[in-house]
Structure 1
Amino acid sequence: MADFLGAYAVSRRIADRLSGGETTFEGTATITADGSGAIYKEVGALQMGTGTFTAERSYLWRPAGARIEVAFADGQPFHDFDPDQGGQATEHLCGADMYRGGYDFSEWTCWSLRWDVSGPRKDYTSVTWYVRR
């Protein structure tokens, strides 16, 4: 997990197949050690349609053997991943919407995360790129 600690420029594109629109996020993320693993926090500008909003979110990263477990800020589980291999992250069912995601570390120290989300209320792909600062 120590390899991830630091600051990143973050760029996200969300292609919504229901509306045909695109949402973007440009900002920064920091991953800082805490007593149990690390805290991921991102802050930036979210552009939706003609409006731009300040957005932020946090996750808890915890070691789990060779994997990293990612939880929401309130401690509820989200997914896990293998930092040595990337690839498919654990699927996450949120209500009736299924999140299927994967990490790509092939250009380390830059990396990306892709989520394909489908369900009765959601149908989009989100791709986030991280570039170490």
Structure 2
Amino acid sequence: MTMLGPAAFVGQWRLQRTITDRLGGQTGRLVGQAVFTQAGQGVLAYQETGDLRIGDGPVMVAMRRYLWVFDAGGVAVQFGDGAAFHRFIPTGHAAGTDHPCGDDLYRVEYDFTRWPIWRATWVVHGPRKDYTSVSDYGP
């Protein structure tokens, strides 16, 4: 499988996420959309919005923004303010680089093997957080 470039991601994606919070003993579900728009040469702006419910709690509106910067080595994902988040290669099963946040550690794996359906799985461990987040994307 060849590396996916920016053009493969541009547009709107259905997004479904399940969050298994081991620390809080709850499950969260998000249903929404992710939109990639051109933000420069080899740069995509990522914005997701959705309805999030954690356990039996009320539905909340959730939103995230990132920048995906494509280069010969893959994708550098940045927070909205340009700070580094992680890197990955958009092909097959792709482990991203770890992201320490204080004493918590974020690990991600992407799965592009069923393209254009793809998945991002985050496993987060630390003193303040202990959860797995599985995000499924599709056209």
SS of 1:120's equivalent?
Answer: coil
In 2, Cα distance between the equivalents of 1:86 and 1:13? 19
Structure 1 residue 35: deviation in Å?
A: 1.3
Q: Which residue of 1 aligns with 2:85?
A: 78
Structure 1 residue 64: deviation in Å?
A: 2.5
Aligned length, in residue pairs: 132
In 1, Cα distance between the equivalents of 2:125 and 2:116? 30
SS of 2:90's equivalent?
Answer: coil
SS of 1:24's equivalent?
Answer: strand
* 8 Å CA contact 2:91, 2:113 repeated in 1: no
Structure 1 residue 63: deviation in Å?
A: 1.4
In 1, Cα distance between the equivalents of 2:50 and 2:108? 22
After the TM superposition, list the runs of 4 or more consecutive aligned residues in structure 1 that deviate by more than 3 angstroms: none
Moved more, 27-36 or 119-128: 27-36
Match runs of 1:6-85 below 5 Å: 6-36=11-41, 37-49=43-55, 50-85=57-92
Structure 1 residue 83: deviation in Å?
A: 1.1
SS of 2:113's equivalent?
Answer: coil
TM-score (normalizing by structure 2):
0.91
1:6–1:86 Cα change, 3 Å: farther
Structure 1 residue 115: deviation in Å?
A: 0.4
In 2, Cα distance between the equivalents of 1:87 and 1:65? 15
SS of 2:82's equivalent?
Answer: coil
* 8 Å CA contact 2:104, 2:128 repeated in 1: yes
Residue ranges of structure 1 left out of the alignment (5+ in a row): none
1:112 to 109, 119, 122: 119
Q: Which residue of 1 aligns with 2:3?
A: none
In 2, Cα distance between the equivalents of 1:14 and 1:7? 22
TM-score (normalizing by structure 1):
0.95
